[in-house]
């Protein structure tokens, strides 16, 4: 039986935050005074920031699909079962879950932004996670 279930959408706030952060970093690199012989370093840094921005946007797009909170300690995400490790980090705009694959060693961090679901679903998830942290002793810390 599921305690909570939701179809997670892409968070536009997270996408915008990522684009702004990478844009600011790019501007800092472009506007910084570079010595003439540092052209290769400059181009390398710009290339790294652009590719990191693309990777970040792909990761944000991959965080969608059905998420099921099966019990106080287990989540089903992308057809895999994960155990919640430690206490979730909750903010007004989102929650960060540290997960470990059940029956495996794969670890993952999952950021769920408040704007990737309805307000009712967001309140329900926060309540379920708050109840989890107040009633369970987590052996996976």
Q: What pTM, to 2 d.p., does this model score?
A: 0.78
- Do 121 and 100 lie in one domain? The reply is yes
Query: 18 and 71: one domain?
Result: no
Phi, psi of 119 (to 5 degrees): -60, -40
Please list the pLDDT of the chain residue by residue as tens digits (141 residues): 678 899 999 999 999 999 999 999 999 999 999 898 998 999 999 999 999 999 999 999 998 999 998 877 899 998 899 999 989 999 999 999 999 999 888 999 999 999 999 999 999 988 888 887 565 554 444
46 domain residue, yes or no: yes
Which of 24, 44, 62 lies at the terminal end of a domain, its last residue? 62
| Residue 43 structural domain | 12-62
Three-state DSSP string of 26-73: HHHHHHCCCCHHHHHHHHHHHHHHHHHHHHHHHHHHHCCEEEEECCCC
Residue at token pair 């670890």: 107
Is 141 within the bounds of a domain? Answer: no
């Amino acid at each position: 039986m599921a305690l909570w279930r939701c179809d997670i959408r892409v968070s536009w706030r997270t996408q915008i935050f990522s684009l702004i952060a990478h844009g600011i970093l790019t501007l800092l690199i472009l506007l910084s005074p570079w010595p003439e012989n540092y052209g290769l370093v400059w181009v390398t840094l710009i290339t790294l920031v652009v590719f990191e921005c693309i990777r970040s946007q792909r990761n944000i797009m991959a965080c969608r699909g059905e998420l099921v909170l099966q019990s106080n300690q287990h989540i089903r995400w992308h057809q895999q079962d994960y155990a919640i490790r430690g206490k979730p980090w909750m903010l007004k705009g989102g929650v960060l879950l540290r997960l470990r694959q059940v029956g495996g060693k794969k670890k993952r961090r999952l950021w769920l932004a408040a704007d990737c679901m309805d307000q009712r679903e967001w309140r329900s998830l926060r309540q379920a996670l708050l109840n989890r942290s107040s009633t369970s002793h987590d052996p996976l810390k």
